[in-house]
Structure 1
Amino acid sequence: MASKPAIFERLIGLETEYALAISNSAAAYTEASEPGGKYRVYRHLVAEVRKRVPTVEARNMKEGIFHAAGGAVWFEAERPAAGGGLIEGATPECRSPRQLLAWQRAQDELLSQAASAAFGDEVRLLKNDRDAHGNIYGAQENYEVDLASGFGLIAWRISLVLVLPLAALTWIALWLLIGIGRTYTLLALIGYLIASRWMKEPQGLARVLFGCELERLEEAGPTGPRWLEATLAVVTRVLIFPIAIALYCPLELFAFRKLRRQLTPFLISRPIIAGTGMIDNDGKFHLADKAPAMNCLTGYGGMLADRPVYSFGHFFKTAYADAWLDPLEYASLFQQRQRLQIALGDSNRADVAEYLRIGTTLLVIDAIEAGCLPAVARIRQPLRALRAICADPTLKFQIPLVGKRTCTAIELQRFYLDACRAFVDQADNPPTEARQILRLWEETLDALEEDPQDLVGSLDWVTKQFLLSKAGPDAAWEVRKKIDLRYSELSDEGYFERLRSTGITEQLLAPAEIDYALRNPPTGTPATVRGRYIREFSGGEEAIAVNWQRIYLGSGRKERQIDLSRYRPLHPPAPRASSKKSRRKDRGA
């Protein structure tokens, strides 16, 4: 049996992509719809974030900032000049479900406040996972776990050694590509300055060469004009494709194999408690927004139009991007403790749904790593079963299991509930929060069997289905889809926010907890150190840059590095109690 870790001590975190809802009648629409316009929206948003909390620039391949609460804000887009763009918020590293929920809610509040201050009602953030055109984005969960052990870990490390020469060639090729890009910019600028002397309206030439007028070059998108962006995107994909294939094979063979096998049935059935609901193009209601689009169990998450349940994209980015900026980052891939990234999950608005999504998954992972989970039934064709579960709001679909057996998603969830309860019962001094989650998990499954309407305000898909029912059975698709999307809007006009103002939704956090998380990093994690350095050195004379692994102070030969991976306290503080309103007796009290 594997050694039994303490419950709720691993590092966990959430990444959330927020869509931009831009008013068609607003002045901001013209600017945002221009090439690179959403990047300018991001710049305005970040300027407002800086007014609220100390920030520093991120040392990372994609543009972003870290703030004093320990988290980060990124501009997430592969093709910004072509009109792409999302705002991504990443929570600081946390250790308990309640801690993570508080910092996630603080992140929602920080970004919604910044958007309101920057744009008023013209630009709003949507915390959803699929737009009206079917584009998929949204939430990802991160859990610190063992990548492998024994022979599997040795084989993984040998694979990294074999891949290293290919990685080095990729870094060299990327540096050459950057050099070519900078040379183009210099030559284009010289050419424009010469040609503009003989042109009456040189703005057209500037848009071709730079993607914008010359006076707006400083705030232009980071990838240049649309044609250059498209060319660089194709060339970059060609350059990184060999290392992508070379790294994916050992990841599929060795990374989290036992964990994936035991965790997959839980995740396939989890939408019944954590899904946010969705209206598809045919007007049919699904339990989850993102789950029906999943097309593979493992993948990089976009490299080849893959939408995986388990994403290996962060390994790939470390190998070709982070290590390209700092080759020592490649060494981090040899560590046994790595980040398991789950891409199957919706961006919840309801506290109970998000708390259960985090807490139940964390308990299951703790039980698996402790070797305390009984043999798990295997699902035949997991992705097909996932889509069928999401397409059945009655929750009666019989999941085909290996061995010609079947069960419902609720029955599968109860198996994991019972296993986690037994795990917690035999643990030495388990945290009170673990029993709170078990109780809330059981109450929720009971309500789903007896009367799901009792969970309006607690589970997102039930709440959204309730709102849709108020539109009437004959409501047009456009009306129903508007409800679907505006449910997730982070503003006072968002439909979930309207419900919250009436007291229908169940709040698990006290306002003081969210207010604290807006300004301070969580205790007992690397974010504690990161946040302290950001608050102390931001705006000072000494240069500072930050990423998830290190803090960089100074520049050039005088640069000093603080390794955040060394900050691993054994006993983080217990979660704070809350005086939240409760709909069920002693829930989370």
Structure 2
Amino acid sequence: MDTRIMGVETEYGLHTVHPTKRPLAPDEVARYMFKPVVAWGNSSNVFIPNGSRLYLDVGSHPEYATAETTRVDELIASDSAGDAIMHQLVLQAQQAMADDGFDGDVYLYRNNADSLGNSYGSHENYMIERTTQYRRLTSALLPFLVTRQLIAGNGVVIKDPSALPLADQFPTRSEPHFAFSQRADYMHEAISSSSTRARPMINTRDEPHADSTKYRRLHVIVGDSNMSETTQLVRFGTTELLLRIIESGKPLRNLQLAHPVRAIRQTSHDLTGNTPLELADGRTMTALEIQEFYFQTAKDFLAQQGHHHDHLEQVMDLWERTLTAIATQNFSSIDTEIDWAIKHKFCTAYANKHQLDWDAARLVQLDMAYHDIHPERGLFNLLEARGAAARFLTDAQVDAAHDNPPATTRALLRHRFIETARALGMEYSMDWTHMKLNNHPMHTLYIRDAFETDISIVDDLFAKVA
């Protein structure tokens, strides 16, 4: 596929704190957050002018799904804009709550687990050709996704390993420690059509949101909710590149894992990357060896095919440096660029300064604070502000993505439709493929082509009903 549609859905954790009173429950705060959304969109599930979707998910999780994009930088910019939009909703909610006598602080976290054992995700979506052999693709992709946490995990402080989900079935290290991934311990299956009842790494539900005769959607729900733009770059960039390699028909060495659910936990809890993982054919390979295989395969592929986007050289460089850092156990070359390494550096320095072990409550608090999206309070944002976390984008790119859609997908039409309908005071409804004026249902637009960018289609519709 020459150009691929990509997107990411981010679920946020919600928490409130009051110094003296019982705070409002998360679902009550979520309703305050979405009051202004409902006011202009008549729903808590809306599309917004930048082409993205904003909604309350199951369990009152605020969620933001980026517009369709064809470029990794646009994807990351659109996702980052979601944080800014959510933060504005939090500020408005706090003011509305205070006006009603419910003062207190609202915290919105871009992470993957809460203190009650609930997990929420960061779901990647990649358009693939309908003709792609799905079973071959997922078989080749799973070992990569299981071990991708080495290069794209958020890192997590494990205070009590025995309290982790399925700890009795998949025991790892017994002592408190730091692990690669927040999400890894919450995976229940490798591949499934469910996304909540039995949480898989790849969700097979066939919802292409496009021409179903040509495409289907690969729904990857195993990833951590990254804070770092450079970590997102390597996460999305390596995955999209591997999809290209698989779609090209290039034969790949069989690295099918015997027990993917066990392997993802084993991988997460070993920062050396050297725990042997059992393959389906009886061999063993370490997580580091598996990632090194995929890196070398990608390097060889690019040597033959060339780079297909501007940022691949940066992706490959960061991928290689991260694997080298793990192999040498010297994280200094990546500790401003990869989330787990950034967090590990800060927590280790703090623990050493205050003589704390990994089971210290303060380290767990700092782990959570890393994911607070508040620009002036969140630990990651503070680290970024002082140069301890690298940037990939500029402020201007993120600011532009706040109100504007990617220019190479049908999100451009969605933007035009919303802006025109609101300017004319017309009520409307839409999903990923439909745009409908509620008072003129016969003039519904159905855009199956995710690459459609001709806004005259929208203008012609409004000309008919004006």
CA drift at 1:437: 1.7
Q: How far, CA to CA, are the matches of 1:101 and 1:377 in structure 2?
A: 30
Could you tell me which amino acid in structure 2 is paired with residue 559 of structure 1?
Answer: M
Larger gyration radius, structure 1 or structure 2: 1
The 5 Å alignment of 1:502-517 reads 502-517=386-401
Match in the other structure for 2:338:
459
User: Could you tell me the TM-score, scaled by structure 2's length?
Assistant: 0.84
The 5 Å alignment of 1:375-394 reads 375-394=253-272
Q: How far, CA to CA, are the matches of 2:306 and 2:359 in structure 1?
A: 56
Larger fraction in helix: 1
CA drift at 1:539: 4.9
In the alignment, does 2:396 pair up with 1:405? no
Partners of 1:74 and 1:89 within 8 A in 2: yes
Match in the other structure for 2:123:
140
Match of 1:126 among 109, 113, 117: 109
CA drift at 1:434: 2.4
CA drift at 1:298: 2.0
CA drift at 1:308: 0.4
Match of 2:46 among 56, 61, 65: 65
Match of 1:310 among 185, 198, 202: 202
SS in 1 for 2:252: coil
Over 3 Å counting, the alpha-carbon distance change for 1:404 and 1:298 in structure 2 is closer
CA drift at 1:142: 0.4
Match of 2:138 among 260, 265, 272: 260
Partners of 1:311 and 1:342 within 8 A in 2: yes
Q: How far, CA to CA, are the matches of 2:416 and 2:251 in structure 1?
A: 39
Match in the other structure for 2:462:
none
Partners of 1:56 and 1:534 within 8 A in 2: no
CA drift at 1:433: 2.3
Match of 1:13 among 7, 20, 33: 7
Could you tell me which amino acid in structure 2 is paired with residue 310 of structure 1?
Answer: I
Match in the other structure for 1:553:
437
CA drift at 1:333: 8.6
Q: How far, CA to CA, are the matches of 2:270 and 2:358 in structure 1?
A: 21
Deviation readout 1:223-282 (Å, 9 max, x if unpaired): xxxxxxxxxxxxxxxxxxxxxxxxxxxxxxxxx211101101100110011111223351
Over 3 Å counting, the alpha-carbon distance change for 1:404 and 1:314 in structure 2 is closer
In the alignment, does 2:94 pair up with 1:113? no
Deviation readout 1:343-364 (Å, 9 max, x if unpaired): 1000000111111111100000
Partners of 2:77 and 2:397 within 8 A in 1: yes
CA drift at 1:447: 2.6
Q: How far, CA to CA, are the matches of 1:431 and 1:464 in structure 2?
A: 30
Deviation readout 1:527-576 (Å, 9 max, x if unpaired): 111112111212523322111111112436x4322222235269xxxxxx
CA drift at 1:487: 0.9
Q: How far, CA to CA, are the matches of 2:303 and 2:108 in structure 1?
A: 42
CA drift at 1:480: 2.0
Deviation readout 1:401-449 (Å, 9 max, x if unpaired): 2444332222211211222222223326733322332222222222332
Over 3 Å counting, the alpha-carbon distance change for 1:97 and 1:302 in structure 2 is closer
The 5 Å alignment of 1:509-588 reads 509-555=393-439, 558-568=441-451
Could you tell me which amino acid in structure 2 is paired with residue 106 of structure 1?
Answer: A
CA drift at 1:495: 1.2
C-alpha RMSD of the superposition = 2.6
Partners of 1:274 and 1:356 within 8 A in 2: yes
Q: How far, CA to CA, are the matches of 2:194 and 2:154 in structure 1?
A: 21
Could you tell me which amino acid in structure 1 is paired with residue 383 of structure 2?
Answer: L
Q: How far, CA to CA, are the matches of 1:512 and 1:307 in structure 2?
A: 37
The 5 Å alignment of 1:47-446 reads 56=41, 63-77=44-58, 84-119=59-94, 122-148=105-131, 256-282=134-160, 283-302=176-195, 305-313=197-205, 315=207, 334-427=212-305, 430-446=308-324
Stretch deviating more after TM superposition (118-127 or 385-394): 118-127
Q: How far, CA to CA, are the matches of 1:313 and 1:129 in structure 2?
A: 22
Partners of 1:116 and 1:124 within 8 A in 2: no
Q: How far, CA to CA, are the matches of 1:287 and 1:352 in structure 2?
A: 16
Over 3 Å counting, the alpha-carbon distance change for 1:302 and 1:432 in structure 2 is closer
Gaps of at least 5 residues in structure 2 are: 96-103, 161-175, 454-466
Over 3 Å counting, the alpha-carbon distance change for 1:495 and 1:567 in structure 2 is closer
Match of 1:23 among 17, 23, 28: 17
Match in the other structure for 2:171:
none
Over 3 Å counting, the alpha-carbon distance change for 1:489 and 1:408 in structure 2 is same
User: Could you tell me the TM-score, scaled by structure 1's length?
Assistant: 0.67
Q: How far, CA to CA, are the matches of 2:346 and 2:17 in structure 1?
A: 23
CA drift at 1:493: 1.3
Over 3 Å counting, the alpha-carbon distance change for 1:26 and 1:509 in structure 2 is farther
CA drift at 1:45: 6.0
Q: How far, CA to CA, are the matches of 1:90 and 1:545 in structure 2?
A: 17
Partners of 2:272 and 2:327 within 8 A in 1: no
Identity %: 27
Q: How far, CA to CA, are the matches of 2:447 and 2:20 in structure 1?
A: 44
Gaps of at least 5 residues in structure 1 are: 78-83, 153-255, 319-328, 571-589
Deviation readout 1:175-214 (Å, 9 max, x if unpaired): xxxxxxxxxxxxxxxxxxxxxxxxxxxxxxxxxxxxxxxx
Deviation readout 1:153-191 (Å, 9 max, x if unpaired): xxxxxxxxxxxxxxxxxxxxxxxxxxxxxxxxxxxxxxx
Match in the other structure for 2:101:
none
CA drift at 1:497: 1.4
In the alignment, does 2:388 pair up with 1:496? no
CA drift at 1:460: 1.3
Deviation readout 1:478-514 (Å, 9 max, x if unpaired): 2222112111001121111121121110001111111
SS in 1 for 2:218: strand
Deviation readout 1:61-117 (Å, 9 max, x if unpaired): xx411111010111112xxxxxx4110011001112111111111111221133134
Partners of 1:68 and 1:519 within 8 A in 2: yes
Partners of 2:410 and 2:452 within 8 A in 1: no
Partners of 1:396 and 1:408 within 8 A in 2: yes
Partners of 2:206 and 2:216 within 8 A in 1: no
Over 3 Å counting, the alpha-carbon distance change for 1:402 and 1:312 in structure 2 is closer
Could you tell me which amino acid in structure 2 is paired with residue 69 of structure 1?
Answer: N
Partners of 1:42 and 1:75 within 8 A in 2: no
Partners of 2:137 and 2:246 within 8 A in 1: yes
Q: How far, CA to CA, are the matches of 1:560 and 1:426 in structure 2?
A: 48
Match in the other structure for 2:365:
482
Over 3 Å counting, the alpha-carbon distance change for 1:131 and 1:427 in structure 2 is same
